[in-house]
Amino acid sequence: MGALRDDAPARPAVAFVGTGVMGRSMAGHLMVAGHELHVHNRSRQKAQPLLDAGALWHESAGAAAAHAPVVITMLGYPRDVEESYLGAGGIVELAQPGALLIDMTTSSPLLARRIGEAAAARGLQALDAPVSGGDVGAREARLVIMAGGEAAAYERALPVLSLLGKNIALLGPAGSGQHCKMANQIACAVGMVAWCEALAYARGAGLDPGRVHASISGGAAGSWALTNLGPRALKGDFAPGFYVKHIRKDIGIALASARELGLELPGLECARQLYEKVSARGWDELGTQALYKLYVSL
């Protein structure tokens, strides 16, 4: 996690809710930068490294929010976001006056707008700011951060967000960050199918998939997923940087949003069907590269 810099300027306290695979690293960067950290997670055990480093534990998201002018959430599902923000005793109800609320979960654009409206009604500022980059991006503080909300909230959030990512942008009003993340996830999910099929084809043709990967990953067929997840899959490493269960969740949100927009996304529908098969094999807790495992086991 690193040590606190002696020359670190005074920074506002941050309530961080959701200390899983990515959230724990993200919260750690804030502590190193000098933010007093108030944490809550469904499982206290996953927050223990942060507590050992000096973070303060709270029994609920709302209780954590009551102790800091900046609140960040990094949760699993839209239902978790809704309960944490809009439920009785939740973040919107208990946040400090004028607090800045930043939801970095990949969630529903419609829910983001609801949270923004509820926050504004209480004189709070809110951003939906989902991220891309997975466990590696979180550990190395180089996440892509896609924000939606008011410009004033975004400018206020930038000093905090810059501790977590390098490519940070305000895309528009509340919900815009989530829409951008849906575009990202559509490209990711369909792209996963592409590289898995390419390497499965190479294997079926009697070629060494590793050598084929080396040949095609730097050319027109290249992608972040092919470069980074392809080698993991070929080595049989299916540890999660991003869970199958979470890409399934994101595909569902994207398809629902597309229907609201009157769009058909046949490539994404194909990815949904394939990841449902992955889930049916009991692989929800594996990384998204487990899709390749489906192809080689067919």
Residues taking part in catalysis: 181
CB 57 within 8 A of CB 39: yes
> What number of other Cβ atoms are within 10 A of residue 261's Cβ?
10
- Answer positive or negative: Cα dihedral of 232, 236, 237, 241: positive
The phi, psi pair for 96, rounded to 5°, reads -65, 150
CB 95 within 8 A of CB 88: no
Indicate the pairing of strand 143-149 with strand 165-172.
Answer: parallel
Q: What amino acid occupies position 258?
A: A
Helix axes 290-297, 224-234, angle to 10 degrees: 60
Burial of 131 (0-12, 13-18, 19+ CB in 10 A): buried
